């Protein structure tokens, strides 16, 4: 068997193992030299990203690299355990198109973050710990996105929260970062504990921890309803959906910018888990309306999610309008962006209904909305990530994030200004950037479902643009301020970090069809055809 096929076969395990081992080697290598350590960390992350790319390619092409590892676009990895039937005790990683799609996002963000950190963190102490935690966070995030086991998901969720909380408090001498970190760890450990409670409810009934096995045998009893509520509530808490959003702008705003980019990935990992629970674990009861007609679960769930989403968008945008701190403002914009994804997916769930011949289907508008929502997950990660990196660059150069004090930076920081403009246009959905492509899909499809939804979404998007134009004006334009006359352009590594994301943003903006057809469509189909995932184990 050739080397590449073996590598692809074992890639789900390696994707977790490489950053995990790298994390604990980092302090040792840091003893040699700071530069060697930075190169090592970048190599580890690049290696992980390469493995993710291999795995994703293999999954999307249904086995172009290693045909025997993949069936129906699902690659399952069981860590060498034998199938002993029931009880299903194996821990399995099950990677379908949706997992691969999320992992691709997780491949881009940490890479940009560690490249950016080289110069951004240069003068800080405790860099060994910083890089260790970043790699741990990456490993946890990828674990959340790839695992097919409920308890395993909980473990990775906790690994990610611990590493994230420690990193938010990285600037421990600033009281606000410690406070934000405490808020984050309280919120996320409560969220994770309720996920564990839901897992225990499943285990008590079905004697299984595997998502596919649970999804296959789920009966929708009273306990399952409780578990569904617990799962959605706790994962919404971890995703920062209003009214449980207050930790998110704090955490995003107080963490070092390079960390924030990775936190965005972990937040989206929780969002992915919510979709996986709804569409796959409860798939039978979402899609089998014919048998359980009285339940009307999709409508109920869809309307609830849409209501939360609209609340999230409006709250996020209006809070962003009144912020005077650059990073906190982008944090609220990130809250609003998560609302868009939830709006699209929620309205897609609400359209599931019986057609004339008695088969449950999602209407074509719903399918479009689902695609738009999934596409927006990728775009949001890139756009908000880029904006945070720019905010970090502004802080690095001017040592200031207050919008009232900053001004006239475009004179000295022309590349950063361009990157901010790209992020601004992308996040507020202006053509020809990627935010436009996915937001247009969301507007179009939600208009077909209910015009009010799309009107609210467009209005908030315009307000978001207004907010960012105001920020652009107050940070980069305006008269020269004597205090900032000596501000220099940020070092190369930070520019490269921002450029990695900016180039991908422009590429997706120019060729949205390429991405939608090849990556987003399989991912949305993976969510809709839950039977394939259940049969994959």
Partner 1 sequence: MIYNIPYFAVAALILIGLYAVVFKRNLIKIVIGITLIESGVNLFLITLGFRENSVAPIHTAGTTEKTLMSLPVPQALTLTSIVIGVAVLALMLSLVIHIYRHYGTLDVRKIKEVDE
* Among 336, 353, 348, residue whose Cα is nearest residue 372: 348
* Piece of 100-108, 196-204, 385-393, 432-440 that binds partner 1 (CB under 8 A): 196-204
* Among 302, 263, 311, 288, residue whose Cα is nearest residue 457: 311
If the CB atoms of residues 169 and 308 are measured against partner 1, the closer one turns out to be 169
Q: Contact with partner 1 (CB under 8 A): which of 25, 47, 53, 200?
A: 200
Q: Contact with partner 1 (CB under 8 A): which of 21, 46, 61, 203?
A: 203
CB of 87 to partner 1, least distance (A): 7
Window 205-244: contact mask with partner 1 (x via CB under 8 A)? --x-x-----------------------------------
Give the integer Cα–Cα distance in Å for 137 and 414. Answer: 32
Check residue 246 for interaction with partner 1 (CB under 8 A).
no
* Among 158, 225, 162, 237, residue whose Cα is nearest residue 198: 225
Packing angle between helix 175-206 and helix 222-239, nearest 10 degrees? 160
Judged by CB under 8 A, the chain residues 354 through 393 that form the site for partner 1 are: none
CB of 150 to partner 1, least distance (A): 10
Q: Contact with partner 1 (CB under 8 A): which of 50, 57, 151, 318?
A: 151
Give the integer Cα–Cα distance in Å for 477 and 479. Answer: 7
Site of tokens 């003893």: 31
The angle subtended at Cα 499 by Cα 439 and Cα 425, nearest 5°, is 30
Q: Go through the chain and tell me how many residues it has.
A: 537
CB-based contacts of 515, cutoff 8 Å, min separation 6: 375, 378, 508
CA distances from 418 to 291, 405, 429, 461, 536 (A): 55, 21, 17, 21, 46
Give the integer Cα–Cα distance in Å for 177 and 179. Answer: 5
If the CB atoms of residues 152 and 367 are measured against partner 1, the closer one turns out to be 152
Q: How many CA atoms, within 13 angstroms, populate the side-chain half-sphere of residue 300? A: 12
Judged by CB under 8 A, the chain residues 81 through 120 that form the site for partner 1 are: 87, 89
CB of 88 to partner 1, least distance (A): 10
Judged by CB under 8 A, the chain residues 156 through 195 that form the site for partner 1 are: 158, 161-162, 165-166, 169, 172, 175-176, 178-179, 181-182, 185-186, 189-190, 193
If the CB atoms of residues 172 and 455 are measured against partner 1, the closer one turns out to be 172
CB of 200 to partner 1, least distance (A): 5
CB-based contacts of 452, cutoff 8 Å, min separation 6: none
CB of 137 to partner 1, least distance (A): 14
Q: Contact with partner 1 (CB under 8 A): which of 155, 233, 304, 465?
A: 155
If the CB atoms of residues 109 and 329 are measured against partner 1, the closer one turns out to be 329
Give the integer Cα–Cα distance in Å for 254 and 525. Answer: 38
If the CB atoms of residues 151 and 318 are measured against partner 1, the closer one turns out to be 151
CB of 300 to partner 1, least distance (A): 25
| Neighbouring-strand partners of residue 93 | 77, 147
Judged by CB under 8 A, the chain residues 49 through 88 that form the site for partner 1 are: 87
If the CB atoms of residues 15 and 162 are measured against partner 1, the closer one turns out to be 162
CB of 189 to partner 1, least distance (A): 5
Inter-residue contact 520 to 442 (CB < 8 Å): no
Inter-residue contact 63 to 97 (CB < 8 Å): no
Q: Contact with partner 1 (CB under 8 A): which of 6, 43, 81, 204?
A: 204
If the CB atoms of residues 181 and 228 are measured against partner 1, the closer one turns out to be 181
Judged by CB under 8 A, the chain residues 445 through 504 that form the site for partner 1 are: none
Question: Helices (H) and strands (E) in the chain — how many of each?
Answer: 22, 5
If the CB atoms of residues 6 and 174 are measured against partner 1, the closer one turns out to be 174
If the CB atoms of residues 133 and 368 are measured against partner 1, the closer one turns out to be 133
* Piece of 153-161, 398-406, 473-481, 516-524 that binds partner 1 (CB under 8 A): 153-161
CB-based contacts of 377, cutoff 8 Å, min separation 6: 101, 102, 105, 268, 271, 272, 341
If the CB atoms of residues 154 and 530 are measured against partner 1, the closer one turns out to be 154
Cβ atoms within 10 Å of 213's Cβ, excluding its own? 23
If the CB atoms of residues 47 and 200 are measured against partner 1, the closer one turns out to be 200
CB of 204 to partner 1, least distance (A): 4
The tokens of 29 are what? 């290598």
- H-assigned helices in 33-126: 34-60, 97-120
How many residues line the site for partner 1 (CB under 8 A)? 30
If the CB atoms of residues 164 and 258 are measured against partner 1, the closer one turns out to be 164
CA distances from 391 to 23, 134, 371, 386, 420 (A): 27, 19, 30, 9, 8
CB of 203 to partner 1, least distance (A): 6
Check residue 94 and report its DSSP letter.
Answer: E
Give the binding site for partner 1 (CB under 8 A): 87, 89, 151, 154-155, 158, 161-162, 165-166, 169, 172, 175-176, 178-179, 181-182, 185-186, 189-190, 193, 196-197, 200, 203-204, 207, 209
């Amino acid at each position: 068997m050739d080397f590449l096929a073996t590598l692809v076969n074992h890639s789900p395990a390696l994707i977790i193992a490489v950053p995990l081992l790298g994390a604990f080697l980092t302090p040792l290598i840091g003893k040699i030299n700071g530069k060697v350590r930075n190169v090592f960390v970048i190599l580890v992350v690049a290696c992980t990203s390469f493995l993710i790319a291999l795995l994703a390619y293999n999954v999307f092409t249904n086995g172009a690299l290693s045909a025997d590892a993949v069936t129906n676009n699902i690659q399952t990895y069981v860590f060498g355990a034998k199938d002993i039937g029931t009880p299903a005790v194996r821990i399995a990683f099950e990677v379908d198109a949706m997992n691969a799609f999320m992992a691709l996002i997780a491949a881009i963000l940490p890479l940009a973050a560690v490249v950016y950190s080289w110069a951004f963190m240069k003068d800080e102490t405790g860099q060994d710990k910083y890089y260790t935690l970043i790699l741990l966070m990456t490993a946890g995030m990828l674990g959340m996105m790839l695992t097919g086991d409920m308890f395993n998901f909980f473990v990775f969720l906790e690994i990610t929260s611990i590493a994230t909380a420690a990193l938010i408090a990285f600037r421990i001498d600033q009281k606000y970062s410690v406070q934000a970190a405490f808020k984050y760890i309280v919120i996320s450990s409560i969220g994770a504990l309720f996920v564990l409670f839901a897992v225990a409810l499943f285990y008590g009934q079905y004697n299984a921890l595997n998502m596919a096995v649970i999804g296959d045998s789920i009966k929708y009893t009273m306990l399952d309803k409780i578990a569904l509520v617990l799962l959605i509530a706790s994962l919404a808490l971890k995703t920062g959906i209003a009214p449980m959003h207050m930790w998110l702008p704090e955490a995003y705003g107080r963490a070092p910018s390079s960390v924030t980019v990775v936190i965005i990935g972990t937040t989206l990992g929780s969002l992915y888990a919510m979709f996986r629970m709804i569409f796959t674990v409860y798939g039978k009861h979402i899609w089998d309306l014919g048998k359980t007609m009285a339940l009307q679960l999709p409508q109920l769930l869809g309307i609830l999610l849409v209501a939360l989403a609209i609340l999230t968008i409006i709250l996020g945008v209006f809070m962003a309008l009144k912020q005077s701190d650059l990073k906190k403002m982008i944090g609220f914009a990130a809250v609003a962006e998560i609302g868009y994804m939830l709006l699209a997916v929620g309205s897609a769930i609400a359209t599931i209904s019986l057609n004339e011949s008695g088969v449950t289907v999602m209407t074509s508008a719903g399918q479009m909305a689902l695609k738009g929502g999934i596409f927006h997950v990728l775009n949001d990660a890139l756009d908000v990530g880029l904006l945070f990196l720019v905010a970090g660059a502004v802080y690095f150069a001017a040592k200031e994030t207050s919008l009232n004090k900053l001004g006239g930076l475009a004179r000295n920081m022309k590349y950063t200004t361009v990157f901010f403009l790209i992020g601004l246009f992308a996040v507020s959905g202006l053509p020809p950037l990627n935010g436009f492509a996915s937001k247009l899909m969301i507007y179009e499809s939600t208009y077909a479902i209910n015009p009010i939804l799309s009107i609210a979404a467009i209005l908030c998007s315009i307000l978001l643009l207004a907010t960012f134009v105001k920020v652009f004006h107050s940070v980069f334009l305006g008269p020269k301020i004597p205090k900032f006359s000596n501000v220099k352009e940020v070092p190369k590594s930070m520019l490269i970090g921002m450029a990695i994301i900016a180039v991908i943003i422009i590429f997706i903006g120019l060729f949205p069809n390429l991405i939608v057809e090849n990556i987003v469509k399989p991912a949305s189909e993976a969510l809709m055809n839950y039977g394939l995932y259940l049969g994959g184990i």
